[in-house]
């Protein structure tokens, strides 16, 4: 995997797999999510790995990607799913199975554009053996990744 992750607390690059293995010596829930945003002529993607412990709080790792503006909504939103799944599948290929869920920044309300991809995205994530969460329960994607893009 070519993505470079950083810790939100100090923005330093981390070696992802050893870092997560060490962190998971304690009980953390691990969520993966991606969000995107258009800024000028570019589309920015933020993929996050959120470690959450109800008594210790949270820890966020992130990776940002900038591409030429993706004008097609379907393509932009589907790349969010692909980015999250790339990370999840990479971790699983390294025998790291502690992923609690993939958080999808998709809305169950049909009035939102993201709803048109909801069934396909849920089917893909679940067919690959992962749990999926959507708004309003998908905090990694809808809150943390969105924060990275601000």
* 1 within a domain of the structure (yes/no): no
Residue 10: CATH number of its domain: 3.30.420
Could you tell me the pLDDT band of residue 78, with boundaries at 50, 70 and 90? very high
127 assigned to some structural domain:
yes
pLDDT digits (tens, 9 = 90+) for 79-101: 999 999 999 999 999 999 889 99
Say what angle helices 73-93 and 115-127 make with each other, to 10 degrees: 20
Percentage of the residues of the chain whose pLDDT score is greater than 70: 99
Q: Residue 114: its pLDDT value, please?
A: 81
Say which residues have a Cβ less than 8 Å from residue 94's Cβ, sequence separation at least 6.
Answer: 17
- Domain range enclosing 97: 6-149
In a domain, 109, yes or no: yes
Domain count for the chain: 1
**Cut 0.85: pTM above it:** yes
Res 109 pLDDT > 90: no
Residue 34: Cβ within 10 Å count: 29
- Residue 91 confidence (pLDDT): 95
């Amino acid at each position: 995997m070519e993505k470079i992750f950083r810790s939100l607390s100090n923005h330093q690059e981390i070696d992802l797999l050893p870092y997560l293995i060490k962190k998971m010596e304690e009980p953390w829930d691990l969520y993966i999510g991606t969000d995107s945003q258009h800024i000028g002529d570019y589309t920015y993607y933020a993929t996050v790995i959120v470690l959450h412990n109800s008594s210790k709080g949270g820890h966020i790792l992130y990776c940002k990607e900038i591409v030429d503006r993706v004008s097609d909504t379907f393509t932009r939103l589907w790349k969010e799913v692909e980015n999250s799944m790339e990370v999840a599948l990479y971790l699983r290929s390294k025998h790291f199975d502690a992923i609690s869920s993939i958080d999808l920044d998709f809305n169950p309300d049909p009035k939102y554009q993201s709803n048109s991809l909801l069934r396909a995205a849920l089917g893909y994530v679940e067919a690959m053996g992962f749990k999926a969460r959507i708004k309003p329960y998908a905090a990694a994607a809808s809150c943390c990744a969105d924060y990275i893009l601000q």
